[in-house]
Chain A
Amino acid sequence: MVRLTGIYKGMRKAYGETLVELGEKYKNLVVLDADLSSSTQTAMFAKKFPERFFNVGIAEQNLMGISAGLATTDKIVFASSFAMFAAGRPWEIIRNIIAYPKLNVKIVATHAGITVGEDGATHQMTEDIAIMRAIPNMVVIAPSDYYHTKNVIREIVEYNGPVYVRMPRRDTEIIYENEEEADFKIGEGKILRDGEDLTIIATGEEVPEALRAYEILKENNISAEIIEMATIKPIDEEVIKKANDFIVTMEDHNIIGGLGSAVGEVIVKEGLNKRVLMVGIPDVFGKSGKAEELLKYYGLDGESVAKRIMRELKNG
């Protein structure tokens, strides 16, 4: 049973631990980082398998180029940095020599979204889903919690092709009881709560916030369906088609080009009579501050989202 546990743990910690686990199993798995291994947690792998870890220094373009080259020699390549420098800076290199030749490179980015916090706008990557999603062949994923991240990493190792995974810097609330419950399949949205009045579709660290919103709405006699949309591309069209007519999307990302847009595209394509309220960063640059403060400031916390939904329902 999915629930807010009150226990907080880092997704990037799960990433580091899972890399070590998979490093044992897959002798052709290599990991690259660009001088942020202690933050992205690839340092765990580096310690265990130093001969299969490459720190390319502060050179993210080359991080992607070398990753591409290694992938052509039958390696499973994990390349990590902060989302700003893993997706933004080397975007065109990822497009042309990773995605175009469909190479087996997993770009796992930490410190995504506004909740990177104090470092401010230059480090708050709120456009990565949009730009990675626009590249053909690219799979885009945002895990929901610590346990879920483990299964995401295990699943993408089995998939042969380029994948982009984004996760936040901060420790986020655990919503799954254990690893077994936190199952993940590429392209499958998951209904976490049934409801009839509206559907909230959330991704990444916004999934626990969606569960928080659910509780508040329930207290106010509003029944919300909650969908975890961990794979933003390819998106689960079926689960969107079956959703309630009022959809609220939640993401720590610009409202342009992210989850909300992806959901909207399905609705337009299918000609569905559904309305979408997109909760996200309203096409502005962020500010320095504590993660929790920023979530409130931009209305991304469960309480703000619940209030906004209640206002919308009253006006509707």
Chain B
Amino acid sequence: MEIEKLKEIAKRVRIKILKMCCLAKSGHPGGSLSSVEILVSLYFKLMDFSLDKKDRDRFVLSKGHAAPALYAVISELGIIEEEELWKLRRLEGKLQGHPSIETPGVEISTGSLGQGFSASVGMALGYKLDGINKYVYVLLGDGECQEGIVWEAAMAAAHYKLDNLIAFVDRNWLQIDGHTEDVMGLEKIAEKFRSFNWDVFEINGNDFEEIIKTVERAKNMRNRRPKVIIAYTTKGKGVSFMENNVAFHGKPPTDEQLKQALKELGELDG
């Protein structure tokens, strides 16, 4: 798929994220917006994820609070109905605040940080055991890497030589209480993964070309080492007043701000 086309999808996904968080009056727009290019690249370009097939590429949203981004993407694909988006986090709706296995396309419940990553190691291990030649992709938040289980899982993935596991760290430098390096420093995160015997790539995580090129490179390195892509992103990406603004980690924009945001994203023009 053309990059221009992916950009259009990303724009629609961003609009959906904002609308659904505003309707729900809660949710995590900041970290959803930062990961849009990664999710769109995976679902529209890189993965073979036919849900009825046992041998499919899988995606685990370990940073489960970015659920709105995942829901928006899978609604674009028709896996869930768009109507459901507008009932996010409501008792009458199906979409949970954090991903539940009952939602089609969700491989495992996530949201309690670090656990999805650990489960993705189990999935990749299961694929190896069955000789299934597909990939497991997993997206972690940067703050999430403060969880101990992340490093237990990282150790295990290298130990089991899982070159079918491709992780992303959404490195947007912000977590609920502030800048990651003020709360609990993560640097040098790339070096940490390297010392855990992972192959490490560092890219602009809001750039489609870089994401696609890097994943394709990582896929072709069947060298018995897991891969991690440190994706430097902008929290709140795409909306000027939300970018790098930690206030929007777990809070949606107001109605007035939503209007402004949609205008910036060009919805009112088109």
Asked if B255 is at the interface (CB within 8 A of a chain A CB), the reply is: no
Residue interface mask B112-146, A partner, CB < 8 A = 1: 10111111111111110110100000000000000
Please state if A56 and B156 are interface contacts (CB–CB under 8 Å). yes
Q: How many residues of B contact A (CB 8 A)?
A: 34
Task: Give the nearest-CB partner of A59 in chain B.
Answer: B152
A contacts with B: majority SS: helix
Contact of A70 among B116, B126, B148, B155 (CB under 8 A): B126
B101 touches A96 (CB 8 A): no
Q: Is B212 interfacial (CB 8 A cutoff)? A: no
Judge whether B121 and A97 touch: CB under 8 Å.
no
Contact at B119–A69, with CB atoms within 8 Å?
Answer: yes
- Decide if B35 is an interface residue (CB 8 Å cutoff): no
Evaluate contact between A65 and B117: CB separation under 8 angstroms: yes
Question: How many residue pairs, one in A and one in B, have C-beta atoms under 8 Å apart?
Answer: 110
Residue of A nearest to B110 (CB): A97
Cα A251 to Cα B130 with chains together (Å)? 42
List, in ascending order, chain B residues with CB within 8 A of A62's CB: 118, 121, 149, 152-153, 155-156
Interface size, A (range) = 20 to 34
Pair A57/B156 contact, Cβ less than 8 Å? yes
**Across the two chains, which residue of chain A brings its CB closest to B132?**
A73
Residues in A neighbouring B125, C-beta threshold 8 A: 54, 66, 69-70
Contact of A100 among B100, B123, B130, B155 (CB under 8 A): B100
Does the CB pair B123–A69 fall under 8 Å?
A: yes
Across the interface, do B120 and A52 meet the contact criterion of CB distance under 8 Å?
A: no
- Residue-wise, chain A 110-144 has the 8 Å CB interface mask toward B (1 for contact) of 00000000000000000000000000000000000
Chain A residues near B109 (CB-CB < 8 A): 96-97, 100-101
Which residues of chain A in 85-114 are interfacial with respect to chain B, using CB atoms and an 8 Å cutoff?
A: 92-93, 96-97, 100-103
**Contact string against A for B residues 74-112, beta-carbon threshold 8 Å, 1 for contact and 0 otherwise:** 000000000000000000000000001100000111111
Residues of chain B lying within 8 A (CB to CB) of residue A61 = 114, 118, 148-149, 152
CA distance A252 to B40 in the complex (A): 53
Measured between C-beta atoms, what is the minimum distance from A28 to chain B in Å? 9
Q: Could you tell me the dominant secondary structure of chain B's interface residues? A: helix
B213 within 8 A of A: no
Chain B residue, CB-CB nearest to A99:
B109
Assess whether B54 is interfacial by the CB under 8 Å rule.
Answer: yes
Chain B residues in 8 Å Cβ range of A223: none
- Given A69-B121, A69-B123: A92 in contact with B112 (beta carbons within 8 A): yes
User: How far is B249's CA from A118's CA once the two chains are assembled, in angstroms?
Assistant: 49
Choice from A57, A74, A93 contacting B118 with Cβ under 8 Å: A93
> Within the complex, what minimum Cβ distance (angstroms) separates A168 from chain B?
28
A124 to chain B, nearest CB (A): 24
Bound together, the chains give a CA A52 to CA B130 distance in angstroms of 11
A66 to chain B, nearest CB (A): 4
Over the window 67-80 of chain A, the binary record of Cβ atoms lying under 8 Å from chain B Cβ atoms (1 yes, 0 no) is 11111111100000
Q: Give the docked Cα–Cα distance between A35 and B130 (Å).
A: 25
B contact residues around A68 at 8 Å (CB):
108, 115, 118-119, 122
Please indicate the chain B residues that have their CB under 8 angstroms from the CB of A70 in the complex.
122-123, 125-126, 129
A51 interface hit (Cβ, 8 Å)? yes
> Shortest Cβ distance from B57 into chain A, in angstroms?
13
Q: Cβ of A153 < 8 Å from any Cβ of B?
A: no
Most A-side CB within 10 Å, residue of B111, B118, B121, B124: B118
CA distance A9 to B151 in the complex (A): 39
Interface centre among A56, A66, A71, by most chain B C-beta atoms within 10 angstroms, is A66
Please, how many angstroms separate the alpha-carbon atoms of A30 and B127 in the complex?
13
Q: Which residue of B lies closest to A34 (CB)?
A: B152
| Across-interface contacts of A71 in B (CB, < 8 A) | 122
- The contact of B126 among A75, A92, A101, A102, by CB within 8 Å, is A75
Interface residues of A in 23-82 (CB under 8 A from B): 30, 51-52, 54, 56-57, 59, 61-62, 64-75
CB A261 to nearest CB in B, in angstroms, measures 27
Starting from the known contacts A59-B149, A68-B108, A68-B115, 10 additional A-B residue pairs (CB-CB under 8 Å) come to A56-B152, A62-B152, A65-B149, A65-B152, A66-B125, A70-B122, A75-B126, A97-B109, A100-B100, A100-B101
Point out residues on A near B: beta carbons under 8 Å: 30, 51-52, 54, 56-57, 59, 61-62, 64-75, 92-93, 96-97, 100-103
**Can you report 10 residue pairs joining A to B where beta carbons are below 8 Å apart?**
A57-B155, A62-B153, A65-B153, A67-B122, A69-B120, A72-B126, A73-B129, A93-B149, A97-B108, A103-B108
Q: Give B residues with C-beta under 8 Å from A.
A: 54, 100-101, 107-112, 114-127, 129-130, 132, 148-149, 152-153, 155-156, 159-160
Shortest 3 CB-CB distances between A and B: which pairs?
A69-B122, A65-B118, A73-B126
